[in-house]
């Protein structure tokens, strides 16, 4: 069994993953402010909290069809129902 990284190391690993992904979007849309935050908590809880006072929350959704049609995951579903601002759900491959 491999050792579990300490919390500081995990944060570094996530930040090392997130930073280059967000840089692509920062380069493409330089006028849009992007806030990068890595926290340990449920994603939906943090997104709703972070969107408090925002004009719009944008969340992604994997393109995936079920026999009933398009499907949103649990984080997107929760954010749609609990965010205090409008939510845009953007499908991505």
Structural domain including 16 reads 1-40
Asked if residue 50 and residue 13 are part of one domain, the reply reads: no
pLDDT of residue 21: 87
pLDDT of residue 56: 94
Domain total in the chain? 2
Task: Output the pTM of the full model.
Answer: 0.68
pLDDT of residue 31: 95
Asked if residue 79 and residue 92 are part of one domain, the reply reads: yes
Asked if residue 59 and residue 15 are part of one domain, the reply reads: no
d(CA 84, CA 50): 10
29-49: pLDDT as tens digits: 999 888 788 888 899 999 999
User: Which residues in the chain come in under a pLDDT of 70?
Assistant: 1-7, 65, 93
Please list, in sequence order, all residues whose beta carbon lies within 8 angstroms of the beta carbon of residue 37, skipping any fewer than 6 positions away.
46, 50
């Amino acid at each position: 069994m491999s050792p579990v990284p300490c919390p500081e190391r995990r944060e570094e690993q996530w930040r090392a993953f997130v930073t280059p992904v967000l840089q692509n979007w920062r380069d493409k849309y330089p006028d849009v402010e992007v806030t990068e935050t890595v926290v340990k908590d449920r994603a939906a809880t943090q997104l709703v909290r972070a969107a408090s006072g925002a004009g719009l929350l944008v969340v992604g959704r994997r393109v995936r069809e079920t026999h009933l049609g398009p499907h949103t995951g649990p984080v997107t579903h929760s954010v749609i129902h609990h965010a205090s601002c409008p939510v845009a759900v953007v499908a991505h491959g």
